[in-house]
Structure 1
């Protein structure tokens, strides 16, 4: 097993790599260094002939990932036509990796976590896992996240999650019912369940597996690309100024309900 300063852990065996977001004190939120490390990792795995399948998870049992770290300062270009989003390149597909990724979700998955879930082949969740999108609560447009989930969930479920913000969390069971999650298991069995599925896939010829991933991804790619093209403009128009976002973030009640 290896660890990076960014808080990633990586280990591999029998054709399977396990990638762990290892910042539990920050609920596995992604800072700029971690984002860069994820990009580099996916691009490296493209050339690893000994790796056929990846399991992606988060350290601890409180969170899989809670998106970008709120303490991260993201420099922005002066041009109103450009927006830098460090999370856009943290997923495997953004880095031309077509080896399948299984997401093992333990605890909260929210906000920018959907960049990763949206580029995973399927999701296995612990019974205590919850999913929510906080953007609108804090005066931010949910664009990339909602677009990713629109590829996996019914329209009404995506809209409800995106618009309810922090007021409501989707339980693992409800996520299974709506198609976001393919399997729900007890928390202690989560990684074993993901590894069992990965072992089956890793036993198949990798060329056929990667071709299948690419074929299915292409079935939704055109609509996704069109939607993503609108995202930066909608974010620029709809986001409150950063100081207003911070004001809402620090002033909102943390009460919520799980459905």
Structure 2
């Protein structure tokens, strides 16, 4: 069963990539990792597609990160950490066509691997952003590094350090520049598709060169930060059994700002 839906409008040149596990809040399992990589790589060679919208199925969530039921084998050495989410984004798969993120509902944790590789984000009024890693005894490394490229330092620090106790509202995300446009709830995908269609109407070579130039301004800092991430995770993460205990005992309350 497919976990990613691809819809291409050859008339406008826009493809819509939809995370399609609404029953699991579009959490990413290993099948979705493989399917996303296949979709991004296929879009590299489809010249009828000149811009992409990335969204999630259903109203409750864009994506809630790695599926906790996904079994991710890990080598015993801290020098060989395997993180499957490093391969889920368009830039990680060498796609330089512009990607506009359309966020409805929750976007948290591993969702930032995807949002961090979108070129800009549009959110419905009910969208919320948060990172629960620290609550469950895990280091927020790649997520915080990607968001540090898109948000003021203090806002990233507050979000990742507060863990599951606080959520960033769509309005606040817009105020700090994480989101560039707010719509009514349910309107993000249509607004993102409209923007993508305008971009797709420009000469593809110029657009893709601009995307690559923008990413070049970020990737040197990201590469240096990412090089430290596996060691920080291996040092700072609690053992898996303890993480599971904290997850089982998680607090129900949170505030949204």
Q: TM bucket by the smaller chain?
A: over 0.9
Q: How far does the alpha carbon of each residue in 1:48-98 deviate from its partner, in whole angstroms, 9 at most, with x for none?
A: 111111100001110000000000010012322111111000000001100
* Aligned equivalents of 2:252, 2:20: Cα separation in 1: 24
- Residue 205 of structure 2 corresponds to 207
1:188 aligned counterpart, secondary structure: coil
Q: Partner of 1:6 in structure 2?
A: 2
Alpha-carbon RMSD across the aligned residues, in angstroms, is 0.7
Deviation at 1:190, TM superposition (A): 1.8
Q: 1:232 aligns with which of 230, 233, 248?
A: 230
Residue 179 of structure 1 is matched in structure 2 by 177
**1:196-235: CA deviations, max 9, x gaps?**
1011000000100000000011112111110010000000
Aligned length: 255
Deviation of 1:171 after TM superposition, in Å, equals 0.2
Q: Is the 8 A contact 2:25 2:60 kept in 1?
A: yes
1:221 alignment partner in structure 2: 219
Contact 1:27 1:64 in 2 (8 A): yes
- The residue number in structure 2 matching 1:67 is 65
Aligned residue among 113, 123, 126 for 1:125: 123
Matches within 5 A, 1:73-222: 73-222=71-220
Other structure's SS at 1:187 match: coil
User: C-alpha separation between the residues in 2 aligned to 1:115 and 1:252?
Assistant: 24
What secondary structure, in the 3-state scheme, does the structure 2 residue paired with 1:169 have?
A: strand
Counterpart-to-counterpart distance in 1, 2:40 and 2:163:
30
Q: Any unmatched runs of 5+ in structure 2?
A: none
User: Any runs of at least 4 consecutive aligned residues in structure 1 with deviations exceeding 2 A, and if so which?
Assistant: none
Confirm or deny: 8 A CA contact 1:166 1:254 kept in the other structure. Answer: no
User: 1:124-180, CA deviations, whole angstroms, 9 ceiling, x for partnerless residues?
Assistant: 000000000000000000000000000000000000000000000000000001110
- CA contact 2:144–2:160 (8 Å) conserved in 1: yes
